[in-house]
Structure 1
Amino acid sequence: MTSEVPESAHREMRASNADRDAVVQRLQEAAGEGRIDLTELTERVDLALAAKTYADLEPLTADLPSGRTADPGKPLFLKGGLHGASRTGRWQVPAQITAHGGMGGVKLDFTQADCRLPLIELEAHGQMAGVTIIIPEGWSAETDDLEPGLGGLKDKTTPDRHPGAPLVRLSGSGGAAGVVIRHPNGWERRKLRRGR
């Protein structure tokens, strides 16, 4: 026979690192949604990291709607082949993407994509025509795991990641044509503003 832990006793149970991390992640999402400002985010994150019990953690997210669980989705595999391949406009971003430039190249444009994931693992192989990746302002990229190959890597992103914004972790090889990761250029930004 099992007995349920009374609510008062549950609140006094010790919180784990995973419990604290989950609260921090929800707070970062809330800041990204505009529900709390950066000052409040910093204060609440500090309290979450110092929390010892569930009772310490609960008030930090009590005034926030419960976060949606991010669906990692099915991995996306793109091959440039002879004619190229792309994902642009509105599309659902999965947690894992593999792009092979082939002879026609691959373009991945995240600027209008639906992404609720904190991390995207993107394996890019430039091959003969290259891979171009466009990420919104506020997103950031981690490119240390990509081998430059002959074509190299051009990272034109800025490091100032907004709280709760996705991180694109890039791996793979530049191949002959290389891999480019950047934010939208001036023409693309104007096009995005017109589309709103």
Structure 2
Amino acid sequence: MTSPLPEPASRPAPSAQLRASHDDRDAVVEQLRDAAAEGRIDLDELDTRVGQALTSKTYAELAALTADLPGARLPADLPGAQPSKDLPPLLLKGGMHGTSRGPGRWEVPGHVIAHGGMGGVKIDFTRAECRFAEVLVEAYGEMAGVTIVLPDSWAVETGGMDPGVGGLKDRTTTDRSPGTPLIRLTGTGGMGGVVVRHPNRWERRKLRDNPAQA
């Protein structure tokens, strides 16, 4: 009696940093179009995300584009990604009075979305805990703008950003330290613009005077 043949091994799920194919990109574009048809994202967001999907190189980049949609998987859920809690995307809306995250300690998800509104948004990463190699930040300046503050050792990639009327001001250095996150900035400057920078003199003094918390 012959021994039963071993069952074929299941194909492993793709690593977050593996290169995506044309079919992978097309699938994400279709998901984005369905989300727009359901009213989950507006047409401007659809255009922006579709453009990013068509130029995405890895599974992690594609996953970040659908992380805030039902049934989507965050980059952290993909095998090979750096371990982190299953954090939902962080959505910040400036509204009438403005809002901020940081500079105290907080855990960074793989996807951050900021709408400046009338009051503006500030995202301060100087005390943040981040376990991702890359973080997608969607910034929409709208009327009052969005300000992003990065530690000196972090870097930003702004190729996916539309400066809009208000413009994009990147005042960061290119000296990224090994093992630190890369912020992939997308969105549009709107009327208020988007600023990404390292801490200013006042913020540095506050960090120095309060080493445990800022």
Unaligned runs of at least 5 residues, structure 1 = 4-17, 22-67
CA contact (8 A) 1:72 1:117 kept: no
**1:190 Cα offset (Å):** 1.4
Counterpart of 1:191? 206
**1:76 Cα offset (Å):** 0.7
How does the TM-score come out when normalised to structure 1?
0.65
| Aligned AA (1:118) | A
CA contact (8 A) 1:108 1:134 kept: yes
Matches of 2:149 and 2:185, distance apart in 1: 13
Matches of 1:155 and 1:106, distance apart in 2: 16
Matches of 1:122 and 1:96, distance apart in 2: 6
Q: How many residues align?
A: 137
Higher relative contact order (CA 8 A, sep 6+): 1
1:170 to 185, 197, 201: 185
Counterpart of 2:90? 76
Unaligned runs of at least 5 residues, structure 2 = 7-14, 19-81
Structure with the largest fraction of helix: 1
Counterpart of 1:103? 118
| Aligned AA (1:119) | E
1:85 to 94, 99, 106: 99
**1:193 Cα offset (Å):** 1.2
Aligned CA RMSD, in angstroms, stands at 2.2
Matches of 1:126 and 1:166, distance apart in 2: 23
Which of structure 1's runs of 4+ aligned residues deviate more than 6 A? none
SS at match of 2:161: strand
**1:85 Cα offset (Å):** 1.1
Work out which of the two has the higher radius of gyration on C-alpha atoms and give 1 or 2: 1
The change in CA–CA distance for 1:73 and 1:158 in structure 2 (over 3 A counts) is same
1:135 to 128, 137, 150: 150
Q: Percent identity?
A: 57
**1:71 Cα offset (Å):** 3.4
2:160 to 145, 160, 164: 145
How does the TM-score come out when normalised to structure 2?
0.60
Matches of 2:5 and 2:147, distance apart in 1: 57
